[in-house]
Structure 1
C-alpha cells in the first residue's frame, strides 16, 4: 500500500517551490507508451499518483503483462496542469518497477529452462523508500519476494557466527523467536551446510559458492531443509545454479541493478 505521504513527497521533490513549466490551461488526455519490450509493473503506484491530483485513470495494464514497443499501458484524462505534473513521477515509477519485473522474468525464464521448481528470489538490497514497489515488481516478474523486512525471518550471517559461533548463533535465535518463524543460516563452505541443518536451520544459504561447490553442499543436506544459493549470481549463470538442486536462487541484482524500462508519456489524441 502506497500512502499519500509518500506520494506527496514525490510531488514536492519534483515540483519544487514554484512550478511554472506545467501552467497549462484546459483539459487533456494522456497515455503511457512502452518504447521497448518488457514486463509491466508499478501500475498501482501510477494510478495513485494520478488520482492524488484529481486525474481520472481510464485504462491500465495488469502488472506482469508482457508488452512490446508501442503498447499503451495506461490512459488518463483530466486538467492539463494536473496531468503534466503527475506524468513524470508516474513514468519514473513505472519505468523502474517494470525494469525490475523484466529482469526478474529473464531470470525466471532462464531457470525454467533447467528446472521448473527452483524459485528466483529477491533480497533486501532495495532502494530506501521503494521496497514495496520493487518487491511487487519482483512478483510481477514471476519471482519470490524473500524477506519483506527483518521481522519475517531470522537470517544468521557471518557476523553472527563470528560473534557467537554457528551452533551458538542458531541456538540464540531459536530461543527468541516464535515456532512459526523460520531461521536461515548462511554458510560459505559445503561442510558447514549439514552442521547448520543439524543445529536447527530451516533453510541453509550457500553463499558465494561456485555451481559445482553448491551441488556438493546440497548433497550433504538432510531432507526437509531448504537450500538457497546466493552471492554474485547473474542472469548468465542462473542456469548453472538451477542444475545444482537448490530450492531457491536469490539475486540482489533483480532490484539493485535493473535498468529502467523505457516509457514515453504523450498527451492529446
Structure 2
C-alpha cells in the first residue's frame, strides 16, 4: 500500500491556521508557564547568546502543528524558518535518517525554553495527522468516498491541537464541542424517555442552525429518529452485516416513501447515516458500504503514535 502522502488527496482550500480562535495564543502562554513555573536553571547555564538550531524529523509521518510551534518560539523572541510545508511528508530513509524540517534562531536559553513544548506539541499533532491521512487513503483505495471523521474523545486542554491535526491529515474533525451540534446519545434518550421526545426537545432550542444527531442501537431506533426529524443517525456498535442491512433499509425507506431517493414534496430530504463504535484502520473495511455517509473513529487520535522530532543547536568547533 502506498505511503500516507503518496495518494492523490484534495489540497486544502485555505490556511488551516486561519481557523484558530482569537484566544488560542493564551494557551501557548499557559504551556510555557507550566513547563517553567519558577527558576530556569538550564537557561542560566547557556545565557542569551544568539544561536541557530535545526529542527529534525526522524520518523515517518505528516508535518502538522506549524502555527503552534511558530507561536511558542515567537513568545520567546525566536524565529522559525520552515523547510517543509504543513501537511507535507516527513520521510526519513536508511540513507537519510533525519530530515531538515525547520531552522530556529534566537537566544540560547529561549530556544531551550521552547524546545520541549514545541516538540511535544508537534509530535502529537503530526502523529494524528499521519494516522488520519493513512486511514483516509485506505478508505479511498478501497473505493469508499464517504466522510472519515474523528470524535470528541480528545485530551482535555489539548483539543485544539488534536482537532487541528485531524484537519491537516485530511479527515473531518466532527463536532468540536457540546455546543457545535446536538448529539443525542443513549443517556439523553433514556433520561428524556424516548428518541422522539429527545429530538423534539432539542429542536425547540437548536432551531434551524444546528443539526440534530441521534445515536441509535437498532434499525427501529434509526427509523424513529428520522421520523422525529433527526439530521444524522449514528448506527452505533452494529455488526458489519448489521450496518449494511440497516443502511440499505433506511435508504430504501426514503425511496419507497417518496418515490424518488431523498425527495419529498419537491424538497430534498437528506438524513446522513454515520457508523461508529470500535472502528479501526485494521477492521474498517468490513463497515464500508455505499449507503453509509460517515465513518467516525477515535482510533485516529486516541492511542496513535507520534512523529519523532528533535531540535539541535549547531555545535561549535572545538578550540
Q: Output aligned runs, 1:121-136, within 5 Å.
A: 121-136=149-164
The aligned residue for residue 55 of structure 2 is 32
Q: Distance in 2 between matches of 1:235 and 1:190?
A: 25
The aligned residue for residue 280 of structure 2 is 234
Q: How many pairs align? A: 269
Q: Distance in 1 between matches of 2:143 and 2:292?
A: 10
Gaps (5+ residues) in structure 1?
A: none
Deviations 1:122-181 (A, max 9, x none): 111111111111111001111001101122210111011112201111111111112121
Matched, 1:174 2:203: yes
The aligned residue for residue 201 of structure 1 is 230
Task: Report the secondary structure of 1:184's partner residue.
Answer: strand
Verify the 8 A CA contact 1:50 1:57 in the aligned structure 2. yes
The aligned residue for residue 254 of structure 1 is 300
Q: Output aligned runs, 1:92-103, within 5 Å.
A: 92-103=120-131
Pick one of 12, 15, 31 that aligns with 2:33: 12
Deviations 1:16-47 (A, max 9, x none): 31111233131111121111111111111000
> What do you get for the CA RMSD once the two structures are aligned?
1.5
* TM-score, reference length from structure 2: 0.80
* TM-score, reference length from structure 1: 0.95
The aligned residue for residue 217 of structure 1 is 246
Runs of 4+ deviating beyond 6 Å:
none
Instruction: Say which is worse superposed, 195-204 or 252-261, in terms of deviation.
Output: 252-261
Point out the structure with max Rg over C-alpha.
2
Matched, 1:190 2:211: no
Q: Output aligned runs, 1:20-169, within 5 Å.
A: 20-23=41-44, 24-25=46-47, 26-59=49-82, 61-69=84-92, 70-164=98-192, 165-169=194-198
Q: Distance in 1 between matches of 2:188 and 2:33?
A: 41
Instruction: Say which is worse superposed, 81-90 or 55-64, in terms of deviation.
Output: 55-64
Quote the offset at 1:14 in angstroms.
1.4
Q: Distance in 1 between matches of 2:176 and 2:186?
A: 21
Gaps (5+ residues) in structure 2?
A: 1-19, 93-97, 255-261, 263-269
